[in-house]
Each structure stands twice: as C-alpha cells, then as structure tokens.
Structure 1
Amino acid sequence: MDYQIKGTTMQSLHITLNQNESIYSETGALLYMTPAIEMETNFSGGLGGMFKRAITGNSLALNNFKATHGTGEVSFSTRMPGHILPIQLDDDIFVQRHSFLCAENSVNLTVVGNLGMTGFFGGNGLIYNKLTGHGTAFISVDGEAIETTLRPNETYLVHPGHLAAYDSNVDFELHRLKGFKNMVFGGDGIFLAKLTGPGKIWLHTLSLHGLAEVLIPFVDRGK
C-alpha cells in the first residue's frame, strides 16, 4: 500500500492498493475509486455492534475497499477543514469518533463508548473508537493538528472538543472545573480531560461544538 496526502486546509487521502490489498473506512468518506477497486459494506459486530455504533454517533456500517482487478486507487476526503494524519500503530490508540478516517484491515476498530458523563458536560463529548493491532490508520484532525509527546508525569488539561486522539500509555482522567461561575458561565463545560504522560496526544484547533455555536445564530436567522 502506498499513499499520498494532498491539499492544504481541506485535505484528501489517495491510497494505491496492489492486488488483494484492502482498506476500510467509515461510511461517507469516499472521494473516488478506480474500477480495479471493489467496495463492500459490512455491519461489523452484528446487531449488537450496529446498535452500539448507532447510540454513540458512529456510522452503522463500515466500507471495505479491495483491489480485486490488479492495482487500483481509492481516495477519501475530510468532512471538515483540517488535516489528515497517518498513524503507524505500535500501541493502542483512542480516536474521537469524528476523527477516524480509514485503516488497513490489520487494524481493528472498536467503539469504546461514552466516558462517564463527559458527553453531557464536555461540549461535543468524549465518545472514542479504539484502534488496536499493527498497521497504518489515518485520522482526520479538524483545523490545525497539534501533536505532542507528554513526558512522564507531564499533564495537560484539555477541552474534550479539542482532543482528537491519544495513545494507550497516556493516563486519562476527568478533571472538574472549580468554581460555580467557571462551570456555568465559562462556556467550556464542567469537565476537562486530564492527560498525563508518558505518551502521545493529538489535538485539533477546530471544535465541532465551537463551530456549531458560531453558526447557530445564522441558521436561526435563515429560518
């Protein structure tokens, strides 16, 4: 498998697959594919898996793309202005539900679910997918990407809406904001994600929750 990432603020991912190589993605991410590629939609995990994906806001199914007639190309695009990052899995990675784009079939994708009550108090919530196995996965980071390696015992307090992914070595806790005014009128929810190293984290500068707040007045005005 070879790949190329094109573009600046609205990037696209172009993957060349050799005969019998395959890759899978969330539904709705396809930009184009060549005739050598065949797509098959699969309901991973059966009925229980579909239900879990539905209630956590993920797509019900996953699309698998396989080069069945020689070498072919398949391309994916982001849904938001941002960047596509390749991640070579050495450790398990937790990826925010909107950030997963696609992965090799040697990488397993499972829905972790909602961490505590953060989904209610943390802006657009902390519903994560877990990537395990060995291979390459691609994530979509909204806005600009901030990749940081935390040193042992180094801690970041991150707004949940800006946490794209973190590896399994990072210790994750919920950190409640102090002060009534901060929690009610601060506009950043009640909880922050407390991330303690060692390990790597990926942040995005554009928050879906923040974007929605900016657009709501214009949507209401249009109605």
Structure 2
Amino acid sequence: MVSGDNPIKSETMAAIYYSGPNRQQLTAEESELAGLIASGAVSGETLVWKEGMADWQPLRVVRPDLAGAGAARVGPPPLRATGAAHEIDYELFGSEMQIVEIELDPGETVIAEAGSMNYMDSEIRFETKMGDGSSPTNNFWDKMKQVGKRALTGESLFMTHFTNHGTGKKRVAFAAPYPGKIIPLELREWGGEIICQKDSFLCAAMGTKLGIAFAQRLGTGLFGGEGFVLQKINGEGRAFIHAGGHVMKKELKGETLIVDTGCLVAFTKGIEYNIQRAGNLKSMVFGGEGLFVATLRGHGTVLLQSLPFSRLADRVLANSAGSAKNDQGSLIGGLGNLFGD
C-alpha cells in the first residue's frame, strides 16, 4: 500500500521513497514498485530515495530492472482521444542559427516540412505522407484537398512524419533554413489557432492541423506578393515556426499596426488582417517600401521579424559576384574592381 501519511516504515519492509505530484514525498515497499509502474504512478524518471543513498536519483538508475520501458506494463498504452495532439518535449540550441531537438516517447510522432530534419536517433523512423495526419479518417479526396492547399502556400506537397519505434525516449532535431529564431508555440495558450507567413512553419506535434488563409481583399492581395496567402495552424499541442533576425512581440488592444508584408511572422485570431497600397503613386514607386503594406487591427498578439528572407535574398543577389561588376558603385569601388581583376 502507498501512504503519504506514514513516512517511516519498519526496516523489514524495505521502504523506498518517491516524488509524487507537486513534489510530495510518498513511500512504498520496493515490492510494490512494479504495480506503481504499471498504474502510471511512477516512471523511470521519478526521483526515488532509500536507506544508504546519498541523494535522490531517478528510478531507472536505482532499479534498472524495473524502470525499463514498459517491463511492468500490462496491456497496451492508453488510447489518445481522436485528433488529440501528441505531447512532445523539446530543447532549443544556438542563438541565431538555431536547432530544436524534439524528444518523443514510444509511439509519439512529430510532423515537419520536407528537408528540415537535421539528425535523429536510429529508432526513429520517418515516412512521407500526404497531409498532416490530423484526421486519420480522411479519404483520398480529403488528402488531395490538403495537398492542393499546400501547393498554394508554395510548400512541398508532402509532409514527413517522424515516429519513435523504440522502447525509450528518442530525439529528432530540426533546423531553420536561414538565420533567425525558432519560436515554440503552445497552441492551447494561443487560443488553439495561429496564422503565420506561408514559409514559417517548421514542425509540430502529431494532431496539429495545417491550413491556409487569405487576405480579405483579393484584388490587392494578388499584387501584394508576400502576405496574401497565409498558413493557419490549429490544435492543442506544440508547434514550431521560424523567423528571420530578431523577433518582436506586439500586443494590440484595438490599435492598428502597419507592417511591411515580409516582416509579419504570425498573429492570433481576433486580429483583422489586410493588405493596402503603400501611400500614393510617388511613394509606391520611389519610397523603397514596396507597393503594398499589411495592416493589422483588433485585439491579440502579433509576431514580427527584423530580417525577412526575401530582403536577405535581395541583398545577396544585389551584391553577388555577377552583379558587383555591373553595379553603380563609388569611384573607389570601381578602382578596387579594376585592380582586383
């Protein structure tokens, strides 16, 4: 029997202490550990202590014979509710060129954009599938609709599903495609939905649904370039998006925010999003801010990035070796090119 009221047992009972909910100190006989593991009350990571130990340690260290994955489990693991997101853990590495390492329990799956995987444990297997897998009962035509939506966002038509087929916790890592930040999102804390730039999604827990959203004004949207077609992420689990440069968080309480279409990363529901012309004709042609800007108004959260990939790519192309010879540089720059050849 487990007891939280009697912290002292006779020596003949071989008492062992373990950490319960809210770090409560509980105690049981060592012979009862198998039953506690089977019921889910303790796991290999539960901190335990018994006489002769200097400090608390995980059960898997103290009793490796019991803390093995599922050795004492009776029957299959509990079923998740249909559409429920897998509960994945993660760790971020780096500052400006980040990697997110996802920790998967046996049977858990993370979905990701094709080509974003950096490394993974050998027991993790990946499979390319149509759609995000959030609705297992979808038929062929439902999956084709998802593929069509992804085609509109410019992403790969397929997604990669990474599943832990091992017996313990395993890890798989994903990297952003350009310098910036990886942003972890607890979707349930964001109202279960967030809308982001079409190329910002990186990976998410299985059960997360990916869709598309459009700017309200189709006419201006067709000429707006970035920002017309957006990606919608729905669910209750964890998702990860990436942004270029530094990330700014803005809280709107009825105000209107005007943003370069490329600098917008994501926003919550409750924000009205649209695209409008960037001033008069003179400003549009000579202002250097593009033809259109995004407007956001309402109540909610907006995430912005300091370095959109399109802006970075434009600078790289403008200063590439081929362009450098033909650009209108300074006299000193021209002399440098002359003597450098």
By the TM > 0.5 criterion, same fold? yes
Unaligned runs of 5+ in 1: none
Q: Quick one: which of 47, 52, 59 aligns to 2:144? A: 47
1:157-177 CA-partner distances (Å, limit 9, x unpaired): 011100011111111122322
What is the letter of the counterpart of residue 33 of structure 1? M
Cα offset, 1:43, TM superposition? 1.2
Task: Confirm or deny: 8 A CA contact 1:17 1:67 kept in the other structure.
Answer: yes
Task: Confirm or deny: 8 A CA contact 1:56 1:114 kept in the other structure.
Answer: no
Kindly indicate which of the two structures has a greater share of residues assigned to helix.
Answer: 2
Q: Calculate percent identity across the aligned residue pairs.
A: 33
1:192-213 CA-partner distances (Å, limit 9, x unpaired): 1111131001111111221122
Cα offset, 1:119, TM superposition? 5.3
Partner SS state of residue 189, structure 1: coil
Which of 76-85 and 179-188 deviates more? 179-188
Task: Confirm or deny: 8 A CA contact 2:207 2:235 kept in the other structure.
Answer: yes
Identify if the C-alpha distance between structure 1 residues 111 and 220 changes in structure 2 by more than 3 Å, giving closer, same or farther.
farther
Q: Quick one: which of 221, 233, 247 aligns to 1:131? A: 233
1:8-56 CA-partner distances (Å, limit 9, x unpaired): 1100000110111111011111001101211111111533432332243
Task: Confirm or deny: 8 A CA contact 1:96 1:126 kept in the other structure.
Answer: no
What is the letter of the counterpart of residue 199 of structure 1? G
Q: State how far apart, in whole Å, the 2-side matches of 1:184 and 1:121 are.
A: 14
Q: How many residues in Structure 1 have an aligned counterpart in Structure 2?
A: 221
What is the letter of the counterpart of residue 201 of structure 2? F
Match for residue 224 of structure 2? 121
Determine which structure has greater relative contact order: mean sequence separation of CA pairs < 8 Å that are 6+ residues apart, divided by chain length: 1
1:139-186 CA-partner distances (Å, limit 9, x unpaired): 1011111112112x1111011100011111111122322211111122
Match for residue 60 of structure 1? 157
Q: Quick one: which of 177, 182, 186 aligns to 1:88? A: 186
Unaligned runs of 5+ in 2: 1-87, 132-141, 326-341
Cα offset, 1:112, TM superposition? 2.8
Moved over 4 A (4+): none
Task: Confirm or deny: 8 A CA contact 2:182 2:241 kept in the other structure.
Answer: yes
Partner SS state of residue 69, structure 1: coil
Task: Confirm or deny: 8 A CA contact 2:228 2:275 kept in the other structure.
Answer: no
Give TM-score, length-normalised by structure 1.
0.91
Q: State how far apart, in whole Å, the 2-side matches of 1:127 and 1:29 are.
A: 21
